[in-house]
Amino acid sequence: MLAYRSLVGRGTLWPCPSAPTARQTRLGYGLKQPYRALSATAKTPPRTIFSGIQPTGVPHLGNYLGALRQWVKLQDEASSDTTLIYSLVDLHAITIRQDPKQLRQWKKDSLAMLLAIGLDPQRSIIFHQSDVPAHAELMWILSCQASTGYLGRMTQWKDKTANEKDGSEKSKLGLFSYPVLQAADVLVHGATHVPVGHDQAQHLEFARQLANGFNEAYGKNVLMPPETLISPAKRIMSLTEPDKKMSKSHANPKSRILLTDSDDVIRSKIKSAVTDSYEGISYEPERRPGVSNLIDIFYHSGESVETESQVALAEHMAGLSLRALKEEVAMAVVEVIRPIRERYESFVRDEATLDAIAEEGARKAVASAAVTMTDVKRAVGLV
């Protein structure tokens, strides 16, 4: 998931005033001239990268290959002056009613999993969203200028409301307005870059619109319009319904591979994965979605895969039977998940360490958010 676009800005972000805000000073935007695309001799300004994931159960293989592994790579490859902020966005999780006891357990499990995949709390700020009140506070301020028309056109809102014809429980205000909270998550930390998949690009565009609208309304360059880091598509599909994305909420547990699954469970799930009756191996997502999904999983699971594309990989494996393909895929996935599972089992039992990491992460995140909130409150007249 790592052929990211350039992490540096590619054009004018905004003209900085002669007296920069506290946020701009901290991020290195104290210049009188507009910030422009960097030349080979220019000094790269400090970056702040933000991303979040809901603590709603153990992540699956699709979550890992599609996002979480890239968080670790960003952390390990970022320059020393880059700030990395990763949040367990529990406020987003309650747009759907959750069992309180279960949510508390999921929060602990999710933090243990972020550590297990390789995030380092000494290098990255890792925290629970609800531990930083500034997220909700900035959401309210931004809500006072957010367009309900724009929110109503958001893809996920339209999809949810389209499914209400059966008389089920109606969607709530939180689901309608959560893109504002999502924008606040990013903007409150002055994030310069946000890694997202293609299905979330619309939300980042909304965050930029809110930031630009706020800056225009109050005549101050307070909020940082973030750059989007679109990663190459790693859309891992369901093992039982390969025309749908792998999901934690799917009714059939065989549809997904969890990062806590044992070696035997992984092999069993892949062995039973839906394929087809065609002969040989080929990468044809439209005609052969099940086989193509297995090739995607194999291609993205192994750092040792040396082919340039899934098509080339399929050609290399063309002589294999479907059974042999599944065995190869299972071995690759086991090698990915086994060390994560073992580290997770160690972390999740150490509640004292998890509590200490969450507390320290919240302290750092509160300090980060306070810089923006001081500027925002001063701009709107609250202080």
Q: Which of 32, 158, 234, 245 is catalytic?
A: 245
Map tokens 């309304």 to a residue.
217
The yes-or-no answer on residue 160 being catalytic is yes
- Average confidence score pLDDT of the chain: 85
H/E stretch holding 101 reads helix 100-116
Q: What is the mean pLDDT of residues 46-71?
A: 93
Least confident of 12-16, 58-62, 109-113, 179-183: 12-16
Flag whether pLDDT at 216 surpasses 70.
Answer: yes
Task: Please report how many Cα atoms fall inside a 13 Å half-sphere around the Cα of residue 233, on the Cβ side.
Answer: 11
Rounded CA separation 360/364 (Å): 6
Least confident of 12-21, 86-95, 269-278: 12-21
Q: 100-116 and 322-348 are packed helices; what angle lies between their axes, rounded to 10 degrees? A: 110
The residue ranking higher by pLDDT, 229 or 275, is 275
Q: Which of 248, 254, 364, 377 is catalytic?
A: 248
DSSP label at residue 164: G
CA 188, distance to chain mean position in Å, is 17
CB-based contact 224:27 (threshold 8 Å) = yes
Rounded CA separation 271/268 (Å): 5
The yes-or-no answer on residue 101 being catalytic is no
DSSP label at residue 198: G
Burial-class residue 106 by CB neighbours within 10 Å (0-12, 13-18, 19+). buried
CB-based contact 35:42 (threshold 8 Å) = no
Say how many Å lie between the first and final Cα of the chain, rounded. Answer: 43
pLDDT tens digits, one per residue of 161-208: 666 555 455 678 888 888 999 999 999 999 999 987 766 777 788 999
Q: Which of 160, 220, 271, 377 is catalytic?
A: 160
CB-based contact 297:290 (threshold 8 Å) = no
Rounded CA separation 205/226 (Å): 9
The yes-or-no answer on residue 271 being catalytic is no
Share of the chain above pLDDT 70, in %: 81
Flag whether pLDDT at 8 surpasses 80.
Answer: no
Task: Please report how many Cα atoms fall inside a 13 Å half-sphere around the Cα of residue 282, on the Cβ side.
Answer: 10
**Cα distances (Å, whole numbers) of residue 306 to 156, 281, 299, 301:** 37, 18, 9, 12
What's the pLDDT band for 153 if we cut at 50, 70, 90? confident
